[in-house]
Amino acid sequence: MLGKEMFYNVSIFITFFIILILNASASEKDKIIENLKNTKNFDFKFEQNINGKIENGQCTIEYPKKIFCEYARSNNKILVSDGRYLVVKTRSSFYQYPVKKTPLNLILDKNFLIEKIYKLNERVINGNLINYTIKEKDYEISIFFDKQNYNLVGWQNVDMYQNFNITFISGIRKNRIISKNLFKIPTRN
């Protein structure tokens, strides 16, 4: 009789522990999703590594699909998306693409991210990052969130030229008043 009671108590403890773990995981996912839902825009510092070439600067993202990045110590390099087109411009070059043909089309769409995060299992990295890997059409994008404040802190993907791209972001400021002209597509010089 004592064995059955002990087995019963251990079973209840294990069941309770499993439910607790599953709820903690769901809770983090819910907090990431809630944080995304409450974010209209954010600006940040970035460091980008494309096939070993490191660049940095500052960006502003406004959902959906708008971004303005100014690169430090470059040829006046900027990256701009108005939600329809993406332009990369320097003193000597000008490239324009439909944003829907780039991985940023997915990264800059918070509704898409929320939909995918609901369905995906997360991976915790070094105890401080939560990672989701999204596979969509020809893209595989890993997005990373801070485990403490649930902010987006980076992503990695392969770009349209098959370059491996890792972007780290820091110094995040959310829901600021920003000029609508910031995302105006520049013209060629």
Residue 16 has pLDDT above 50, yes or no: no
- Residue 20: the pLDDT is 45
Q: How confident is the model at residue 152 (pLDDT cuts 50, 70, 90)?
A: very high
Return the minimum-mean-pLDDT range out of 3-7, 13-17, 130-134: 13-17
- Residue 4: the pLDDT is 57
Question: What integer is the mean pLDDT of 83-109?
Answer: 95
Instruction: Specify the CATH number for 3-183; select among 2.50.20.10, 3.40.50.300, 1.10.287.3510, 3.40.50.1100.
Output: 2.50.20.10
- State percent of the chain over pLDDT 70: 86
To 10 degrees, the CA torsion angle through 41, 45, 50, 53? 160
Residue 7 has pLDDT above 60, yes or no: no
Angstrom CA distances, 59 to 47, 123, 127, stand at 10, 27, 27
Phi then psi for residue 151, to 5 deg, are: -80, 150
Residue 26 has pLDDT above 70, yes or no: no
| DSSP code of residue 138 | T
- State percent of the chain over pLDDT 90: 76
* Crossing angle of helices 110-119 and 2-37, rounded to 10°: 170
DSSP string covering 91-126: SS-EEEEEGGGSTHHHHT-HHHHHHHHHHSPPEEET
Count of alpha carbons within 13 angstroms of residue 189, beta-carbon side = 8
Return the minimum-mean-pLDDT range out of 7-21, 56-70, 78-92, 102-116: 7-21
Contacts of 6 (CB under 8 A, 6+ apart): none
Residue 18 has pLDDT above 70, yes or no: no
